[in-house]
């Protein structure tokens, strides 16, 4: 999937108001993912994404992820975007849904394994029909 396609799908899935909003949502979410998951897993995820998006995940190779709960994840994304946490939830879900379709099923499972069960409501339960594989 190309960068423009990824952003377009985030905008569509999240019913966001603009490409710029989708880009901010994507960047903030990926940067917080980088903080949360094991650095080598972030690198693996980055390798399956467009280069522009992969850069948001790189830089922590060989390091463990920080352990923080779902509410902290949402708060960090909201702070990076400068939005309310309720809107950040929509943005995170949109990015996660597009990620699920942008990477291989095995890579998405590896990515999701970095999160505890309390994050379940942020993850899509099945591939999004709006997003082509």
pLDDT tens digits, one per residue of 78-106:
999 999 999 999 999 999 999 999 999 99
In this predicted structure, the answer to whether residue 129 has a pLDDT above a threshold of 50 is: no
Q: Is residue 126 part of a domain?
A: no
**Residue 49 falls within a domain, yes or no?**
yes
Give the residue numbers spanning the domain of 76: 3-120
pLDDT digits (tens, 9 = 90+) for 72-85: 999 999 999 999 99
Give the model's pLDDT for residue 131: 46
Quote the pLDDT of residue 39.
81
Which pair of structure tokens corresponds to residue 105?
A: 């099923």
Asked whether residue 45 is assigned to any structural domain, the reply reads yes
Q: pTM score, two decimals?
A: 0.91
Q: Largest Cα–Cα distance in the chain?
A: 37
Q: What percent of the chain shows pLDDT beyond 70?
A: 94
Residue 127 within any structural domain of the chain: no
The overall average pLDDT reported for the chain is: 92
CB of 63 closer than 8 Å to CB of 89: no
Q: How far apart are CA 79 and CA 27, in angstroms?
A: 12
The count of structural domains within the chain is 1
Residue 16 belongs to a domain: yes
131 within some domain: no
What CATH number is attached to the domain comprising 53?
1.10.490.110
Query: CA 125, CA 56: separation in Å to the nearest integer?
Result: 25
**CB atoms closer than 10 angstroms to residue 37:** 24
């Amino acid at each position: 999937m190309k960068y423009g396609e990824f952003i377009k799908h985030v905008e569509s899935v999240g019913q966001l108001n603009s490409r710029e909003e989708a880009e901010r949502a994507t960047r903030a979410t990926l940067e917080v993912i980088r903080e949360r998951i094991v650095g080598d897993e972030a690198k693996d995820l980055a390798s399956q994404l467009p280069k522009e998006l992969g850069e948001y995940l790189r830089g922590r190779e060989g390091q463990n992820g920080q352990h923080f709960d779902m509410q902290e994840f949402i708060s960090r994304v909201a702070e990076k975007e400068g939005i309310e946490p309720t809107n950040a939830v929509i943005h995170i879900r949109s990015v996660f849904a597009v990620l699920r379709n942008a990477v291989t099923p095995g890579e998405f499972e590896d990515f999701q394994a970095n999160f505890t069960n309390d994050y379940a409501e942020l993850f899509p339960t099945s591939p999004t029909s709006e997003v082509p594989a």
